[in-house]
Amino acid sequence: MTLQLLFQREFVATGGGPGEGLAIRPVNLLNDFIKDFEMQADVADYAGTLFRGVCENLTEIDRLIESNARHWKISRMSLVDLSILRIAAFEMVFAIPNMKPSIAIDEAVEMAKLYGSTDSASFVNGILDPIARHL
């Protein structure tokens, strides 16, 4: 759910490419999503926490991702990969309690395998691994 919300927010705000100044209010997107899809309350709560957390810390998260992405700018990353990276970075650095980095990375790599391109899993791992080493 969080991946879908982050992707949708970025896609609508930028017309399909990564960008800055996301204009859609996260609370509106989250509430609309929860109304449109049936889900367990605990799943919606956790996904909402992740989504709001990423949105609230977006500038810092993107700076962290870009500083650990060799030869890659945020603007060149696919929206799926970027959304996955943002979730994992939030979980490792900003969530309380922080998720163990190895777990966040494993989950991110699995999401990248499912939803990204053939190179997404290694790309995501290659950026998250140095973030984890710096923690």
Q: What is the pLDDT of residues 82-130, one digit of tens each?
A: 999 999 999 999 998 888 999 999 999 999 999 999 999 999 999 999 9
Specify the higher pLDDT residue, 1 or 53: 53
Which pLDDT does position 11 carry in this prediction? 75
Give the homologous superfamily in CATH for domain 2-134.
NusB-like (1.10.940.10)
Give the count of alpha carbons within 13 A of 104, CB side only.
Answer: 25
Which pLDDT does position 20 carry in this prediction? 44
> Using an 8 Å Cβ cutoff, are 78 and 116 in contact?
yes
Residue 15 scores a pLDDT above 70: no
Q: How far apart are CA 76 and CA 36, in angstroms?
A: 31
Render pLDDT for 37-76 as a digit per residue (tens, 0 to 9): 777 888 888 888 999 999 999 999 999 999 999 889 999 9
Confidence of residue 9 (pLDDT cuts 50, 70, 90): confident
